[in-house]
Amino acid sequence: MLAGVVATPETSEDLLERAVDLLRASGRRMTAARRLLLRFLFDGGSHRTAEELTADMKTVFPEVSLSTIYRNLDELERMGIVGHIDLGQGAATYFLATERHGHVVCEQCGVIFEIPLAAFQEIEKFASKHYGVTVSPHQCAVLGTCVMCAAQG
Protein backbone atom coordinates (compact mmCIF):
# COMPACT_ATOMS: atom_id res chain seq x y z
CA MET A 1 0.00 0.00 0.00
CA LEU A 2 1.40 3.35 -1.06
CA ALA A 3 1.44 6.39 1.19
CA GLY A 4 -1.65 8.49 0.72
CA VAL A 5 -2.16 12.18 0.40
CA VAL A 6 -1.08 13.67 3.66
CA ALA A 7 -3.53 15.57 5.80
CA THR A 8 -2.03 18.91 6.70
CA PRO A 9 -3.76 19.70 9.96
CA GLU A 10 -4.07 23.40 10.52
CA THR A 11 -4.73 23.10 14.19
CA SER A 12 -2.45 20.26 15.09
CA GLU A 13 -1.01 22.22 18.03
CA ASP A 14 -4.46 22.73 19.44
CA LEU A 15 -5.35 19.15 18.84
CA LEU A 16 -2.27 17.87 20.61
CA GLU A 17 -2.98 20.15 23.51
CA ARG A 18 -6.56 18.94 23.60
CA ALA A 19 -5.38 15.35 23.49
CA VAL A 20 -3.11 15.84 26.49
CA ASP A 21 -5.80 17.75 28.40
CA LEU A 22 -8.42 15.12 27.71
CA LEU A 23 -6.09 12.36 28.81
CA ARG A 24 -5.25 14.18 32.02
CA ALA A 25 -8.86 15.14 32.71
CA SER A 26 -10.12 11.60 32.38
CA GLY A 27 -7.64 10.30 34.90
CA ARG A 28 -5.46 8.67 32.31
CA ARG A 29 -1.72 8.48 32.48
CA MET A 30 0.92 9.86 30.19
CA THR A 31 3.04 6.81 29.49
CA ALA A 32 6.02 6.50 27.22
CA ALA A 33 4.02 4.58 24.61
CA ARG A 34 1.22 7.09 24.66
CA ARG A 35 3.48 10.11 24.42
CA LEU A 36 5.41 8.55 21.58
CA LEU A 37 2.30 7.54 19.67
CA LEU A 38 1.02 11.10 19.88
CA ARG A 39 4.36 12.39 18.65
CA PHE A 40 4.38 10.00 15.71
CA LEU A 41 0.78 10.76 14.87
CA PHE A 42 1.43 14.48 14.85
CA ASP A 43 4.83 14.44 13.22
CA GLY A 44 4.57 11.60 10.73
CA GLY A 45 2.35 11.29 7.69
CA SER A 46 -1.36 10.74 7.91
CA HIS A 47 -3.30 7.63 6.98
CA ARG A 48 -1.09 4.97 8.44
CA THR A 49 -1.97 1.52 9.69
CA ALA A 50 -1.47 0.41 13.28
CA GLU A 51 1.30 -1.85 12.03
CA GLU A 52 3.08 1.01 10.26
CA LEU A 53 2.84 3.22 13.30
CA THR A 54 4.18 0.43 15.49
CA ALA A 55 7.06 -0.25 13.14
CA ASP A 56 7.98 3.44 13.15
CA MET A 57 7.79 3.61 16.92
CA LYS A 58 9.91 0.49 17.33
CA THR A 59 12.87 2.32 15.78
CA VAL A 60 12.85 4.54 18.86
CA PHE A 61 11.13 2.34 21.43
CA PRO A 62 11.64 -1.31 20.42
CA GLU A 63 9.55 -2.95 23.12
CA VAL A 64 6.31 -1.22 22.17
CA SER A 65 3.60 -3.67 21.17
CA LEU A 66 0.98 -3.66 18.49
CA SER A 67 -1.83 -4.24 20.95
CA THR A 68 -0.88 -1.14 22.90
CA ILE A 69 -1.08 0.86 19.70
CA TYR A 70 -4.49 -0.54 18.90
CA ARG A 71 -5.67 0.21 22.42
CA ASN A 72 -4.37 3.75 22.28
CA LEU A 73 -5.65 4.48 18.81
CA ASP A 74 -9.04 3.27 19.94
CA GLU A 75 -8.97 5.54 22.91
CA LEU A 76 -7.78 8.52 20.90
CA GLU A 77 -10.56 7.86 18.46
CA ARG A 78 -13.18 7.83 21.20
CA MET A 79 -11.69 11.14 22.35
CA GLY A 80 -12.07 12.55 18.86
CA ILE A 81 -8.34 12.98 18.32
CA VAL A 82 -7.92 10.49 15.52
CA GLY A 83 -10.20 8.85 12.99
CA HIS A 84 -9.79 5.72 10.96
CA ILE A 85 -11.09 4.16 7.81
CA ASP A 86 -11.32 0.45 7.25
CA LEU A 87 -11.82 -0.84 3.76
CA GLY A 88 -12.43 -4.41 4.78
CA GLN A 89 -9.49 -5.13 2.54
CA GLY A 90 -6.15 -4.86 4.31
CA ALA A 91 -5.56 -2.95 7.51
CA ALA A 92 -7.42 0.12 8.71
CA THR A 93 -5.59 3.43 8.40
CA TYR A 94 -5.56 6.07 11.11
CA PHE A 95 -5.34 9.82 10.73
CA LEU A 96 -5.61 12.94 12.82
CA ALA A 97 -9.12 14.27 13.15
CA THR A 98 -8.01 17.87 12.78
CA GLU A 99 -9.67 18.32 9.49
CA ARG A 100 -12.78 16.34 8.85
CA HIS A 101 -12.93 14.90 5.39
CA GLY A 102 -14.20 11.94 3.45
CA HIS A 103 -12.03 9.55 1.50
CA VAL A 104 -11.73 7.97 -1.87
CA VAL A 105 -9.46 4.96 -2.00
CA CYS A 106 -7.99 3.28 -5.06
CA GLU A 107 -9.06 -0.36 -4.99
CA GLN A 108 -5.95 -1.49 -6.81
CA CYS A 109 -3.12 0.21 -4.97
CA GLY A 110 -4.73 1.59 -1.84
CA VAL A 111 -3.75 5.24 -2.26
CA ILE A 112 -6.04 7.41 -0.22
CA PHE A 113 -7.45 10.72 -1.43
CA GLU A 114 -9.22 13.22 0.72
CA ILE A 115 -12.60 14.57 -0.28
CA PRO A 116 -14.13 17.64 1.35
CA LEU A 117 -17.24 17.00 3.39
CA ALA A 118 -19.19 19.36 1.17
CA ALA A 119 -19.13 16.74 -1.56
CA PHE A 120 -21.06 14.41 0.73
CA GLN A 121 -23.98 16.81 1.09
CA GLU A 122 -26.25 15.10 -1.38
CA ILE A 123 -25.77 11.80 0.36
CA GLU A 124 -26.39 13.37 3.72
CA LYS A 125 -29.54 15.02 2.43
CA PHE A 126 -30.89 11.87 0.87
CA ALA A 127 -30.10 9.71 3.86
CA SER A 128 -31.63 12.10 6.32
CA LYS A 129 -34.73 12.80 4.24
CA HIS A 130 -35.53 9.22 3.28
CA TYR A 131 -34.22 7.22 6.18
CA GLY A 132 -33.61 9.69 8.98
CA VAL A 133 -29.98 8.63 8.99
CA THR A 134 -27.21 10.98 10.04
CA VAL A 135 -24.08 10.16 8.07
CA SER A 136 -20.47 10.49 9.19
CA PRO A 137 -18.51 10.72 5.95
CA HIS A 138 -15.17 11.08 7.70
CA GLN A 139 -15.43 7.49 8.80
CA CYS A 140 -15.79 5.99 5.40
CA ALA A 141 -14.21 5.61 2.06
CA VAL A 142 -15.68 5.46 -1.38
CA LEU A 143 -13.78 3.05 -3.60
CA GLY A 144 -12.41 3.97 -6.97
CA THR A 145 -9.53 3.56 -9.38
CA CYS A 146 -6.68 6.03 -9.60
CA VAL A 147 -5.10 7.24 -12.85
CA MET A 148 -1.98 5.14 -12.46
CA CYS A 149 -3.89 1.92 -11.96
CA ALA A 150 -6.41 2.79 -14.65
CA ALA A 151 -3.52 3.29 -17.10
CA GLN A 152 -2.05 -0.08 -16.23
CA GLY A 153 -5.32 -1.75 -17.21
Partner DNA sequence: TTCGATGCAAATAGTTTGCATTCTA
Partner DNA sequence: TAGAATGCAAACTATTTGCATCGAA
Q: Which stretch binds DNA (CB under 7 A): 8-16, 20-28, 101-109, 129-137?
A: 20-28
Q: Does 92 bind a second copy (CB under 8 A)?
A: yes
Distance CA(13)–CA(106), nearest Å, equals: 31
Q: Does 30 bind DNA (CB under 7 A)?
A: yes
Distance CA(45)–CA(137), nearest Å, equals: 21
Least separation in angstroms between residue 135's CB and a second copy is: 4
Q: Does 51 bind a second copy (CB under 8 A)?
A: no
Q: In Å, how far from its chain's centre is CA 59? A: 21
How far from each other are the two terminal CA atoms of the chain, in whole angstroms?
A: 18
Selected from 29, 88, 152, 153, the binder of a second copy by CB under 8 A is 88
Who contacts 6 (Cβ-Cβ below 8 Å, separation ≥6)? Answer: 45, 46, 47
Who contacts 24 (Cβ-Cβ below 8 Å, separation ≥6)? Answer: 30
Selected from 7, 94, 106, 110, the binder of a second copy by CB under 8 A is 106
Q: Does 140 bind DNA (CB under 7 A)?
A: no
SS3 92: coil
User: Could you tell me if 111 and 105 are in contact, meaning their C-beta atoms sit under 8 angstroms apart?
Assistant: yes
Least separation in angstroms between residue 124's CB and DNA is: 26
What is the contact surface with a second copy in residues (CB under 8 A)?
5, 85-89, 92, 102, 104, 106-107, 113, 115-116, 118-123, 125-127, 130-137, 139-147, 150
What is the contact surface with DNA in residues (CB under 7 A)?
23, 27-34, 49-51, 61, 63-68, 70-72, 74, 86, 88, 90-92
